[in-house]
Amino acid sequence: MDEIRGRKFSVLIDKSRDVSIKEQMTVILRFVNDKGQVVERFLGLQHVQSCTTIALKEALVSMLSSHNLSISMLRGQGYDGASNMRDIADFFNYVPLIVSNVCASCMRKDALLAKHHDVLLEKIEKGEIMTGRGLNQESSLASPRDTRWGSHLKTLLRILVMWVAIIDVLEIVKKDSFKPTNNGGALGLIGKMENFDFVFILHLMIELLSMIDILSRALQRKDQDIVEAMHLITDVKDS
């Protein structure tokens, strides 16, 4: 703690289970010392009730606070393992289910387009969106393809734009379904879409995939120049 003396720092975090089968969070500080060297110093172990994102955050903030380290000086975080990435995987598992449920029949597709049309008209009347040639034309909803990340971006953008209409159609499916499994499916999807984590990840992945999409499309061009491609890769990494 004498060595760090108010410097900006990063944390490296891992978890391990002790002999009493308690989950422990290991915290390492990484910073630049007086000699300009990047050093890593063991800060301590913190018992955690679970390894969820929220639990790890609370444990980290508590440990930093106990050593009078300000969270505002934190400049980087590194975590071993990817168990918390399951939120992203879970999100992409639900996206095709939402699309397939909403577009399972011609009647549902028609209802989706009609609802979306009503939403657009309402927004136009309120002046919330612009009108003009080529605007507000895309209104179809298709499942993403595993081999094309651009298709994932397209699907997520459509879900965001057609959000209200999709929820409305799922509500209709929930009410009209005679089979409990169908009703539960629609109800579950509505609950998932209205969950903060789902909405947050939707915006996060749109932001991330939008950066990658330019590079992805450029690398698929037959006349791509290798020098230009390397510049694009560097730009995406910087972004």
Q: Is residue 100 part of a domain?
A: yes
The answer to whether residue 239 is domain-embedded is no
Show which of 29, 48, 81 is a domain's final residue.
81
* pLDDT computed for residue 145 by the predictor: 67
Q: Is residue 57 part of a domain?
A: yes
Q: What is the CATH number of the domain that holds 50?
A: 3.30.420
Range of the domain at 47: 9-81
Residue 61 and residue 91 in one domain: no
What's the pLDDT tens digit per position in 23-47?
788 899 999 999 999 999 999 988 8
* The total number of structural domains that make up the chain: 2
In a domain, 1, yes or no: no
DSSP string, 121-153: HHHHHHT-S---TTTT------PPPTT-HHHHH
Whole-angstrom Cα Rg for the chain: 24
Residues 109 and 67 in one domain: no
User: Are 144 and 183 within one domain?
Assistant: yes
Is the domain of 109 the same as that of 135? Answer: yes
Instruction: Based on the fold, state whether residues 91 and 174 are members of the same structural domain.
Output: yes
In a domain, 232, yes or no: no
Residue numbers of the chain with a pLDDT score lower than 70: 17-21, 81-85, 128-141, 143, 145-148, 177-184
User: Per residue in 38-78, pLDDT tens?
Assistant: 999 999 988 887 777 788 888 889 999 999 999 899 999 88
**What is residue 188's predicted lDDT score, i.e. its pLDDT?**
87
* pLDDT score recorded for residue 81: 57
44 strand-pairing partners: 27
Q: Residue 31: exposed, middle, or buried by beta-carbon count in 10 A (0-12, 13-18, 19+)?
A: buried
Our separate counts of H helices and E strands in the chain read: 8, 4
Q: Using CA atoms, how far apart are residues 52 and 81, in angstroms rounded to an integer?
A: 12
What whole-number distance in Å separates Cα of residue 193 and Cα of residue 176?
A: 20
Q: Are residues 36 and 65 in the same domain?
A: yes
Same domain, 177 and 134: yes
Co-location of 52 and 150 in the same domain: no
